[in-house]
Structures are given as structure tokens and as C-alpha cells.
Amino acid sequence: MESEQTNVDKQALQDFFMGINNLNQIEKKTSKFNAFETLGIVHTEIRHSNVLGWLMSPNEQHGIGGAFVEKIIQEIARNHNIEQYGHDPLQMLLWDYHDLVVRREWRNIDLIAISEANKLMLVIENKVWSKSPNIS
């Protein structure tokens, strides 16, 4: 059983990782630019999935490694109580996603990302005008 101080320390470390990283710099630079508008594909879900899949793949030539997937994990941890599903947010924020494999339109799933090393599977049903993610 963890002590109260251990829990406080763990939460402080998790909050630290949630608030830092170069991920916030990426967000600042990209929040005003919408590539989908520029390309005229705002309403085209399959194109969104293709771009998201490319960004999520750490070994692609975009040069950001696992930063995009780390940002997704950060947002999930920040906005949802993932501990209720048996996930430790701090542990997930510290994982290395080097082995992440992303598939698009696989078995009617828009995007599926699998990390064998982390025993992680992210499944994304991409809806262009959806307002809120559903975590389960």
C-alpha cells in the first residue's frame, strides 16, 4: 500500500510531465495553422486519418519521433480518469513509443496504434466534426 506522501510525490511528478515537454511548443506553432483547410480537405475523414496515422508513426520522416503520440497520451491522461481502467498516467507518459505500429482503415477501424513493448493499443474512430472523445 502506497503512503500518502508517495501518492503526493507521484502526482507532483505526473503533473510536471503533463505541463512540460517540447509538445507544448509544437502546439503553439501549429494551433493557428490548419493544413486540412489549406489542402481543401476539411470534410474528408480518410485524409484526416492518413495524416493522423503518419504523425502518430514515430519512425516516419516528419522528424518528431513519438512526440505526437506522447501528446495524445498526455491529453487522454489530462482529460480522462484512465486510472479507472487500470492505467498509470505517469507510467504512460514515460514510455518510449519507438515500436508503435499504426494501421489505417484496418478491419473497419479508422486508426489503430499498437506498441507491443508497452502493451498498448490506441483505437481511434475518426469523426471529422465530432466534439468530444469517448474513452473506454
Q: What is the mean pLDDT of each run of 10 residues along the chain (136 residues)?
A: 67 63 60 71 77 88 86 85 82 87 88 92 80 57
In a domain, 63, yes or no: yes
Q: What was the pLDDT predicted at 115? A: 93
Is residue 68 classed as helix, strand or coil in its secondary structure?
helix
Look at residue 21 in the predicted model and tell me its pLDDT: 56
Give residue 64's identity as a one-letter amino acid code. Answer: I
> Within a domain: residue 66?
yes
Considering the domain boundaries, does residue 131 fall inside one? Answer: no
Contact (Cβ atoms closer than 8 angstroms) between residue 64 and residue 55: yes
Instruction: State which residues form the domain around 99.
Output: 4-124
The pLDDT score that the predictor gives to residue 101 is 93
Number of structural domains, the chain?
1
Domain membership flag for residue 134: no
pLDDT for position 112? 94
Examine residue 135 and state whether it is found in any structural domain, yes or no: no
In a domain, 136, yes or no: no
Question: Is 129 contained in some domain?
Answer: no
pLDDT of residue 5: 66
